[in-house]
Amino acid sequence: MMPRIFRRLLYAPIVLLLLVTMTFFLVRLAPGGPFSNERDLPEEVESALNARFGLDQPLHIQYMRMVGGLLRGDLGPSMKHRDRTVKDIISDHLPPSLLLGTTAILLALWVGITIGIISALRANTLIDYLGMGATVIGISLPAFVFGPLLQLIFSMKLGWLPVAGYGNASQLILPAVTLSLPFAARFARLMRAGMLEILSEDFIRTAHAKGLSEFTIVTRHALRGAILPVISFLGPAIAAITTGSLIVEKIFNIPGLGREFVESALNRDYTLVMGTTLVYGTFIVLCNMLADLSYAALDPRVRDAEEVA
C-alpha cells in the first residue's frame, strides 16, 4: 500500500469538494440573501441583481457553475463589494492574517518548548509548578480578555507599544502575543509530557553515565523524541492559529481575512464565503500533511510502519 502522505494527497481534493459543497448549501439554507438587507431596493433592481449573479437559476445549476468556476481558478465577483472580485479581496486581506499567524506560531513554539523543557528537567519543583500553572492560565484566558489587558498595560499605561493598527513591527507584537498564548500553553504541556517520557528511557541514563552534560543530553538525545507530541499537534495548531484570528484582528484593528470571512457570512456574500472557505480548507489540509511529513521524518517507527504498509 502507498504511504499515508500520498493517500492524503489523493484524498485532499475530495475533502475540499465536500467542504465547498457543504458550505454552498448551508449558506443558502440561512434566511435572507445577498440583497435582502439593502434598504429601499426596488423589486426589479433586486431581480436584476439576482439574474446577474445567477441566483435566479435552479440550485443545482448554481452549484455546477460554482464548481466549474473553482476548477478554473475563478472565484467570481463579490456580491457585496461589486467593484471587486473575490480573488482581489483575498489577495488584499490574506497577507496580514498570514503574517500574524506565522509570528504567533513561531512565538508559541519558542515559548512553549522552552517552558516544557525547563519544567520537565525540574519536575515537581517550584519552577515546574509555576510553569504548569502559567499554562493553565494561558489555556483558560480568552483572547478578548487578554488582548485588551495587554493594551491597557503596555499601550495606555506604559506607552511602550501602539494600541492597535497594522503596518509596522511594533503594531504586531501585542496581537501576536495575544494569539500565541493558548497555543504556547498547549505546546508547553505537550513538551513537558514528551520530555518526561524520554528522560526515563535507558539511553538517557546511559548518556548520564557517560558524563555528558545536561545540555548535550537534551539537545542531542532527548529533544528529537520528546518533541513528537508537539509536532503531532502542530498541523491543527497552525491551521487554528491562522484561521481563528478573528477576535484578535477585531481587537487590534488588523485588516485580515478572518474579519472578511465572518462579515461575508453575515452579509450572505455567497461568492466571498466560498472563496475564503476554499482558502482556509486548502491551508488546513496542507498544514496537516506537513505535520505528517515532519512526524515521519523525526520518528523512524512511523517511516518503518509506512514502508511495511
Q: What residue has cell string 491551508? A: 283
Amino acid at 215: F
Backbone angles phi, psi at 202, to 5 degrees: -65, -40
Q: Which residue has the higher pLDDT, 36 or 175?
A: 175
Q: What Å distances lie between residue 206 and 201, 212, 226, CA to CA?
A: 9, 9, 17
pTM of the model: 0.78
Grid cell, residue 192, equals: 513537558
* CB-count burial class (<10 Å; 0-12, 13-18, 19+) for 195: buried
Q: pLDDT tens digits for 125-135?
A: 999 899 999 99
Amino acid at 254: I
Run of H or E residues at 233: helix 228-243
What mean pLDDT value characterizes the chain?
Answer: 81
Confidence of residue 76 (pLDDT cuts 50, 70, 90): confident
Backbone angles phi, psi at 77, to 5 degrees: -85, 155
Q: Which residues contact 270 (CB under 8 A, 6 or more apart)?
A: 24, 27, 28, 34, 53, 55, 79
**Between the ranges 57-61, 181-185, 197-201, 241-245, where is the mean pLDDT highest?**
181-185
Select from 276, 244, 96 the least CA-distant residue to 180: 244
Select from 283, 285, 287 the least CA-distant residue to 234: 287
Grid cell, residue 305, equals: 510502519
Please give the Cα distance from 231 to 225 (Å, whole number): 10
Please give the Cα distance from 212 to 198 (Å, whole number): 16
Confidence of residue 1 (pLDDT cuts 50, 70, 90): very low
Which domains are delineated in the chain?
Answer: 86-199+229-308 (1.10.3720.10)
Q: pLDDT tens digits for 21-36?
A: 888 888 887 776 666 6
Q: pLDDT tens digits for 42-68?
A: 666 667 766 777 777 778 888 888 888
